[in-house]
C-alpha cells in the first residue's frame, strides 16, 4: 500500500489523482481501439434530433473507469474484506454492463440485454453482496435515519449451518439491499444521456461518499470512493461536450452499484439516496411519464428522462449538464448534512 497510513486524507487525495491519471492515460488508446473495432454508440431513434450526430461515437469508456478504479484500490488501499467485497460487486456489475454494451453494439440497436436478463444478473450480484456483507464483513441489517431513528430489518432472519459456522440470511434486509443496488444502478444508467452528465454527477456523489467513509474511519473505502471520483474525472476529459467516448452501461451500472454498496458497508443507505438525489429525480421522471401516458394517454414531460425534457425546451446540452451538476452538488451537501444527524 502506497502512502502514509497516518494521513488518510493524503491517501484519499493521492488515490483520486492516481485514478484520474490512469484513466486519462489509457483512454486515448481505448478510444482508438473502439474506433478500429467499430464499437460505437447506438442512439435512440426517438431521442432529440441533435443527438443523431453522436451515432457511432466510441462507447464502453466504463471499462477504463473500472480499470483505473481497480488498479488504484490495489495499489493505494489495503484489501480488507469490506474493500474487496465492494470492489468485486462493482466490477461484477460493470461486467454485466459490458455484456449489455457488447450486445447493443453487435446487434446494432440502442438496447442491449433484455430487462429480464439484466435483472437476473443484478439480482444475483445483490443477493451475494448482501449475504457476504452480513456474514463476512459483519454489517448490521439496520437502516438508520436522522434523529437517531433506526429500523431493524434483521427481524426475519434464517440461520443455517455451513461448515460448522452459522450463516445468516436476513430476508427483509436482502430485499432492501436489492432495491437499493438495482435502483441506484439503473438510476445512474438513466442519467447517462448527455455528454458529461453521468460522469460529473457520479464524481460529485462519490466525493461526498468519500467524506462519509473518512468520517466513519474506514480509510480503505475512502480510497475506493476517491478512486471512483478520480476515474470519473479522468474520463470526463474525453466525455465533455462534444464527447469523444461514452461510458456505456459498463460504467453507469457499475457506478450506481458502487454508490449503493458503499452505503451498505457504512450503514448510510438513506444518506446515499439523498446524495444520489439527482439520479432519483431522473428515475422518477421516467416512472411519472410512463404512468401518465398509460393512464391518460398524455405525457407530463416533453421527453423522459428529465434531462431530455429541458433539451426539448431549447436548453443547450452544456447548460443542462452544468445545471444538473449544480443540483447534484446541492444534493451532496444535503446528504452530508443529513449524515451528521444520524444516530
Looking at residue 15, its pLDDT comes to 97
Task: Please report the sign of the dihedral spanned by the C-alpha atoms of residue 24, residue 43, residue 192, residue 89.
Answer: negative
Looking at residue 3, its pLDDT comes to 46
Name the percent of the chain lying above pLDDT 70: 91
User: For residue 198, which of 235, 244, 242 has the smallest C-alpha distance?
Assistant: 235
Are the CB atoms for 79 and 219 separated by under 8 Å?
no
Looking at residue 4, its pLDDT comes to 44
**pLDDT-flagged residues of the chain (< 70):** 1-8, 40-55, 107-112, 343
Looking at residue 113, its pLDDT comes to 75
Looking at residue 43, its pLDDT comes to 60
Mean pLDDT across the chain, nearest whole number? 92
| Three-state DSSP class for residue 303 | coil
Cα gap 290→309, rounded to integer Å: 14
CA 167, chain centre distance (Å): 29
Are the CB atoms for 57 and 241 separated by under 8 Å?
no
Looking at residue 208, its pLDDT comes to 98
Cα gap 125→182, rounded to integer Å: 10
Question: Could you count the other beta carbons within 10 Å of the beta carbon of residue 249?
Answer: 30
Cell triple for 259: 454508490
Q: What pTM was estimated for this model as a whole?
A: 0.93
Amino acid at each position: 500500500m502506497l502512502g502514509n497510513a497516518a494521513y488518510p486524507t493524503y491517501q484519499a487525495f493521492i488515490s483520486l489523482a492516481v485514478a484520474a491519471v490512469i484513466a486519462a492515460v489509457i483512454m486515448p488508446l481505448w478510444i482508438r481501439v473502439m474506433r478500429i473495432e467499430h464499437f460505437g454508440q447506438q442512439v435512440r431513434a426517438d431521442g432529440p434530433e441533435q443527438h443523431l450526430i453522436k451515432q457511432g461515437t466510441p462507447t464502453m469508456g466504463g471499462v477504463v473507469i473500472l480499470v483505473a478504479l481497480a488498479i488504484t484500490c490495489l495499489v493505494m488501499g489495503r484489501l480488507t474484506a469490506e474493500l474487496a467485497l465492494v470492489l468485486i460487486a462493482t466490477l461484477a456489475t460493470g461486467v454485466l454492463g459490458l455484456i449489455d454494451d457488447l450486445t447493443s453494439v453487435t446487434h446494432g440497436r440502442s438496447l442491449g440485454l433484455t430487462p429480464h436478463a439484466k435483472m437476473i444478473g443484478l439480482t444475483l450480484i445483490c443477493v451475494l453482496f448482501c449475504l457476504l456483507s452480513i456474514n463476512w464483513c459483519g454489517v448490521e441489517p439496520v437502516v438508520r435515519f436522522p434523529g437517531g431513528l433506526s429500523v431493524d430489518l434483521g427481524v426475519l432472519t434464517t440461520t443455517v449451518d455451513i461448515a460448522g459456522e452459522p450463516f445468516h440470511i436476513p430476508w427483509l434486509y436482502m430485499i432492501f439491499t436489492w432495491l437499493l443496488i438495482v435502483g441506484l444502478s439503473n438510476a445512474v444508467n438513466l442519467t447517462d444521456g448527455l455528454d458529461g452528465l453521468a460522469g460529473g454527477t457520479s464524481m460529485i456523489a462519490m466525493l461526498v461518499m468519500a467524506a462519509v467513509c473518512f468520517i466513519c474511519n474506514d480509510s480503505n473505502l475512502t480510497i475506493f470512493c476517491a478512486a471512483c471520483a478520480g476515474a470519473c474525472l479522468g474520463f470526463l476529459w474525453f466525455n465533455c461536450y462534444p464527447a469523444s467516448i461514452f461510458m456505456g452501461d459498463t460504467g453507469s451500472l457499475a457506478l450506481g452499484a458502487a454508490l449503493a454498496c458503499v452505503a451498505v458497508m457504512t450503514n448510510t443507505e438513506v444518506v446515499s439516496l439523498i446524495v444520489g438525489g439527482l439520479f432519483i429525480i431522473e428515475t422518477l421522471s421516467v416512472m411519472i411519464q410512463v404512468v401518465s401516458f398509460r393512464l391518460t394517454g398524455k405525457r407530463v414531460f416533453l421527453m423522459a428522462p428529465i434531462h431530455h425534457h429541458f433539451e426539448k425546451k431549447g436548453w443547450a446540452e452544456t447548460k443542462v449538464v452544468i445545471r444538473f451538476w449544480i443540483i447534484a452538488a446541492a444534493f451532496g451537501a444535503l446528504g452530508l448534512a443529513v449524515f451528521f444527524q444520524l444516530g
